[in-house]
Amino acid sequence: MAKIAIIGTGYVGLASAVGFAHLGHDVVGIDIDKEKITKLSRGKSPIYEKDMEVFLKKSLKKKKIQFSTDYSKVGSSKFVFLCLPTPQLEDGAADISFILESSKMLSRHLKQSSTIVIKSTVPVNTWKLVKEKIDRDDVAIVSNPEFLREGTALQDFFKPDRIVVGSTDEVKAKEVSSLYKAKKAKIVFTDNTSAEIIKYASNSFLAIKLSFVNEIAAYAESTDANALEVLNAMGLDKRIGKDFLKPGPGWGGMCFPKDVSALKESAREKNVPIPLLDAALESNLKTHARIVEKCKKALGGSLKDKKISVWGLSFKANTDDIRFSPAISVIERLILEGAQISSFDPIVKSVENLSMKVSADIEQNVTGADAIVLLTEWQEFKEIDPKEISDLVTQKIIIDSRNLLNKNKWEKAGFTFIGNGYN
Ligand SMILES: NC(=O)c1ccc[n+]([C@@H]2O[C@H](COP(=O)([O-])OP(=O)(O)OC[C@H]3O[C@@H](n4cnc5c(N)ncnc54)[C@H](O)[C@@H]3O)[C@@H](O)[C@H]2O)c1
């Protein structure tokens, strides 16, 4: 079993810390956020993530995990994972200052012949800058980008599709890969720079795929076709694959938008622009706008003073993360059109800087609504009985941007049901 330090205990760092501790390693999680560290030390997860608290508590009980704000606690760790934020700068590029500052601070605390593992999503050649900041010949740098998805973070940690390990040092790369004990995962050994690009290229490919799907949905709506049938048939072709073929209100979250922008910026810097990325970003904004247009059309052309009940705030189901959530982007546009918003999300109970009501329950949320708009695919929304809310709304109109609900059930209850990708 190895001694592992995790720097940054956010979505990725916490899942990795708890995952490695569960595998039997001795883990210390380090973060500059004191409140987070206090919560974690008491067995409370600061994020909503399936099974996180159960696994966290188990590892604390077995003394396999501890948390601290003190960088000197990395001292005895053989592997130090950087799980720090790499947010988007104003020009679209990734901000790697958290990574570089942390590397500088770590340098004097690292044990002899330890390994720095970069798990954050970073632009090409960041590993070289980390090496410079660490400035120690005995310390190896391994690039090990993370692919977990919020909502299934622990499941993805234990059963990843692949583990990418990039390094110039084969021995260290093997050591890092063996920490995961993921017998079924394909392990891809490569160089650091390729590892860095694999992550950006993967997320950007998925974002482009989703943008295309949403454009096909918009196109199908202008015809007699049903995009759901079109996409289903497309997915039967193994070269296309059946995943990521569902229309929605646009893609978002903390990864896709910033990773597409960062790759775009990095390619532009190298004088090899990738216009597909610009197109995917532009198309995504059009998708947010298209959902607003659907509301407008359903309500006779204007949203001024219309009461809209929004279902879902997080960027996808099973997470509390609202960073770059398409739901928020759609709500902002609805507000600009003059609508009054009452939102409901099973987990997210407050949103800063948005002038809307956040309802405590569905009844409160739909009372007086001129239209309901479903924006996040929480399974809870499927359980809502349209008959039970039909007397509460002002107009029986529901727009299901995720195609989650049963159209027949809602139509039987007298609602005008508007899906995504068909008429
Ligand atoms: N969230 C995801 O689904 C996901 C998936 C794969 C990869 N990634 C990538 O992983 C990285 C981390 O993402 P995240 O979503 O976990 O971020 P996050 O914002 O949830 O967590 C980052 C943590 O780092 C801490 N931190 C900031 N500066 C620090 C410092 N100097 N020392 C110690 N701790 C510090 C913050 O307090 C925070 O707890 C990013 O590069 C992201 O792109 C994220």
Residue 212 in any domain: the answer is no
Last residue of a domain, one of 190, 211, 238: 190
* pLDDT classification of 5: cutoffs 50, 70, 90: very high
Same domain, 318 and 169: no
- Tell me: pLDDT of 263 over 90: yes
Residue 221 in any domain: the answer is no
Q: How far is the CA of 150 from the centre of ligand 1 (A)?
A: 12
Residue 209 in any domain: the answer is no
Return the ligand 1 atom nearest residue 11 CA: 16
**CA nearest ligand 1 atom 37, residue:** 33
CATH no. for residue 109?
3.40.50.720
Average pLDDT over residues 226-248: 98
- Tell me: pLDDT of 86 over 90: yes
Nearest-10 crossing angle of helices 275-298, 256-269: 150
Same domain, 162 and 230: no
Same domain, 268 and 329: yes
Give dist(CA 164, CA 131) in Å, integer.
19
Q: How far is the CA of 99 from the centre of ligand 1 (A)?
A: 10
Return the ligand 1 atom nearest residue 258 CA: 43
Average pLDDT over residues 211-226: 98
Number of domains in the chain: 2
Same domain, 174 and 274: no
Give dist(CA 265, CA 389) in Å, integer.
48
Average pLDDT over residues 157-180: 97
Residue 286 in any domain: the answer is yes
Burial of 271 (0-12, 13-18, 19+ CB in 10 A): exposed
Burial of 419 (0-12, 13-18, 19+ CB in 10 A): buried
* pLDDT classification of 183: cutoffs 50, 70, 90: confident
**CA nearest ligand 1 atom 1, residue:** 11
Same domain, 169 and 315: no
Q: What are phi and psi of 125, to 5 degrees?
A: 75, 10
* pLDDT classification of 275: cutoffs 50, 70, 90: very high
Q: Distance of alpha carbon 222 from its chain centroid, rounded? A: 31
**CA nearest ligand 1 atom 28, residue:** 98
Same domain, 346 and 420: yes
- Active site residue ranges: 255
What's the mean per-residue pLDDT of the chain? Answer: 97
Return the ligand 1 atom nearest residue 12 CA: 16
Q: How far is the CA of 231 from the centre of ligand 1 (A)?
A: 34
pLDDT, tens digit, for every residue of 241-251? 999 999 999 99
Buried b (16+ CB within 10 A) or exposed e, 158-181: bebeebbbbbeeeebbebbbebbe
Residue 97 in any domain: the answer is yes
Note the pLDDT of residue 1: 94
Query: In sequence order, what E strands does 144-228 have?
Result: 162-166, 186-190
Note the pLDDT of residue 100: 98
| Probe residue for ligand 1, chosen from 6, 9, 11, 95 as the CB with the greatest number of ligand atoms within 8 Å | 11
Structural domain containing residue 251: 226-423
Return the ligand 1 atom nearest residue 150 CA: 3
Note the pLDDT of residue 335: 98
Other beta carbons within 10 Å of 29:
29
* pLDDT classification of 182: cutoffs 50, 70, 90: confident
Q: How far is the CA of 122 from the centre of ligand 1 (A)?
A: 11
**CA nearest ligand 1 atom 44, residue:** 12
Residue 208 in any domain: the answer is no
Same domain, 157 and 306: no
Residue 274 in any domain: the answer is yes
Q: How far is the CA of 338 from the centre of ligand 1 (A)?
A: 36
Note the pLDDT of residue 184: 85
Burial of 189 (0-12, 13-18, 19+ CB in 10 A): middle
Same domain, 175 and 31: yes
Return the ligand 1 atom nearest residue 9 CA: 39
Pocket of ligand 1 (CB under 6 A): 7-13, 30-33, 36, 83-86, 98, 101-102, 120-121, 146, 148, 150, 254-255
pLDDT, tens digit, for every residue of 141-152? 999 999 999 999
* pLDDT classification of 402: cutoffs 50, 70, 90: very high
pLDDT, tens digit, for every residue of 331-380? 999 999 999 999 999 999 999 999 999 999 999 999 999 999 999 999 99
Same domain, 250 and 142: no
* pLDDT classification of 92: cutoffs 50, 70, 90: very high
Note the pLDDT of residue 280: 98
Average pLDDT over residues 91-106: 97
Give dist(CA 379, CA 376) in Å, integer.
9
| Probe residue for ligand 1, chosen from 254, 258, 325 as the CB with the greatest number of ligand atoms within 8 Å | 254
Residue located via tokens 């394909």: 186
Angle at alpha carbon of residue 203, lines to 199 and 207, rounded to 5°? 165
Same domain, 241 and 375: yes
**Amino acid in position 50:** K
Average pLDDT over residues 316-333: 97
Q: How far is the CA of 353 from the centre of ligand 1 (A)?
A: 23
Give pTM, 2 decimals. Answer: 0.96
Which tokens hold the place of 227? 């995009």
* pLDDT classification of 203: cutoffs 50, 70, 90: very high
Average pLDDT over residues 112-140: 98
